[in-house]
Structure 1
Amino acid sequence: MLTLGLYNTYDRNKVVEAHYRGIARGAPIAYAFGFNLALVGFPYDFEKQELVDFVRDNTTIGESGAYLQKLHDEKRLYVMDIPQKGFPAQFGSLVVTSSHGDKKKAVSSREVADMMARNKPLFILIGLGRKGLPKEYFEMAPYHLDITDGKGVSFETCTAIGAIAARLYTLAEQQKMAGSRKDR
C-alpha cells in the first residue's frame, strides 16, 4: 500500500477553507500517481461520502472533487483522527516529509522510490499548513524525506504535495523499467 497522508495543522475545531482546498488539491495528485489518500486530524464529523460531497460543493479544484470521489469509490480514501500511538500498521513504514528532518534518519528520494518499486508499504506524511508536522512524528518515523535531496528548500504545502508525489512516482517508474531491462 502506498499512501499519501495529509496531516491537518490548521484549526482542529472548525472547518476552514484551507482544509477543503488542500484536500481538493491533494486528491488529483494522489489519484494521478497511484497513491491512496489519507486525511489525518481534519475537523469533519462526516462519513466519507459526505466529506466528498462537501468538498465537491465548496470548490472547483480537482474538477470539483471528482478525483476525491474516484479515490473514495476505489476504496483508496482514508479519514482518521490523530492517532495517539502511531498509524495503523496497514499503512506501512512512516516517511515524514520536511526540508529540515533529522540527518540520521534522512532518506533520499531515490531510496524511497526504490522501496516503492519493490512494493514496500509506505505512508508518506505531509503537514498541511505552515506549522509542519508535530515533533512526535519525526521521532516515530524511521525515514525523513527532504524531496530536494538535502538542499533543504522549503515548499508551500500544495507545491510540496505535487513535487513529492511526482518525483517519487517518476523515480519509482524509472527503477521498475531499469529492473525489467536487466531481466531480459
Structure 2
Amino acid sequence: MLTLGIVNTYDKIKVHEAHYRSIARAAPVAYAFGFNLALFDFPLKLSAPELVSYVKDKTTIGGSGKYLEELSRSGRFFVFELPDKGFQPQFGLPVVTTSHPAREKEINIRTITEYIRKKRSFIFLIGLGPRGLPSELFDMVQYHLDITSKGISLETCTAIGAVPAIITGCLEQVNSKK
C-alpha cells in the first residue's frame, strides 16, 4: 500500500483556500497513481465523507471532487490529527519528502522502488505551507527522500504530483525489465 500524506503546516485553526484546493489537487493524483490519500492536522474538523462534500462545494479542481469522492468510497481517503509518537501502522513506514535529507536517514528512489516491489508499504509525507514539514517529523521517521535526487525544493502541489509519478514510473520501469 502506498499513501500520499499531506501534513498541514499552513494554519491549524482557520480554513484557507489553500487547504481545500490542495486536497482537490491531491485526490486525482493519488487516484491516478493508485495511492491512498491521508490528511494530517487540517483545520477542517470533518469526517472523510463530510470533507468530500465540503471540497466538492468549494472548487471545481479535481473533477469537482470526483476523485476525492472515489477515494473515499473505496476506503482510500483518511483524515487524522498529526500523531505525537508515530504514524498509523497500516500505512507502513513513513517517509519525509525533503530536498535536504539527513545523511543517516536518506533513502533513494531505487531503494524505495525495490522495497515496494517486495510489498513494503509506505506513506510519503508532504508539507502544506511555507514552512514545509514540522522538524519533529524529521526526527520521528526512519527515512528521508529527495524525490529530485538533486536537492531541489519543490512547491507543495508540485511535490504532490512528482512523488507518486516518479515512484510509479520507476516501478513500471523495473517491472518491465523482469
Matched letter for residue 19 of structure 1: H
Q: Which residue of 1 aligns with 2:40?
A: 40
Q: CA deviation at 1:36?
A: 0.4
Q: Which runs of 5+ in 1 are unaligned?
A: 180-184
Say if 1:117 and 1:173, in contact at 8 Å, map to a contact too: no
Q: CA deviation at 1:117?
A: 1.9
Q: Which residue of 1 aligns with 2:117?
A: 117
SS of alignment partner, residue 177 of structure 2: helix
**What percent of counterpart residues are identical?**
53
Between the two proteins, the alignment pairs up a number of residues equal to: 178
In 2, Cα distance between equivalents of 1:43 and 1:158: 19
SS of alignment partner, residue 127 of structure 1: strand
In 2, Cα distance between equivalents of 1:23 and 1:114: 29
Equivalences for residues 85-100 of structure 1 within 5 A: 85-100=85-100
Q: Which runs of 4+ in 1 moved over 6 A?
A: none
In 1, Cα distance between equivalents of 2:110 and 2:129: 26
Say if 2:2 and 2:122, in contact at 8 Å, map to a contact too: yes
SS of alignment partner, residue 27 of structure 1: helix
Say if 1:9 and 1:128, in contact at 8 Å, map to a contact too: yes
SS of alignment partner, residue 13 of structure 2: coil
Equivalences for residues 159-170 of structure 1 within 5 A: 159-170=158-169
Equivalences for residues 21-170 of structure 1 within 5 A: 21-149=21-149, 151-170=150-169
TM-score using structure 1 length: 0.93
Q: Which runs of 5+ in 2 are unaligned?
A: none
SS of alignment partner, residue 72 of structure 2: helix
In 2, Cα distance between equivalents of 1:91 and 1:160: 19
In 1, Cα distance between equivalents of 2:22 and 2:115: 27
Say if 1:110 and 1:168, in contact at 8 Å, map to a contact too: no
Q: CA deviation at 1:46?
A: 1.4
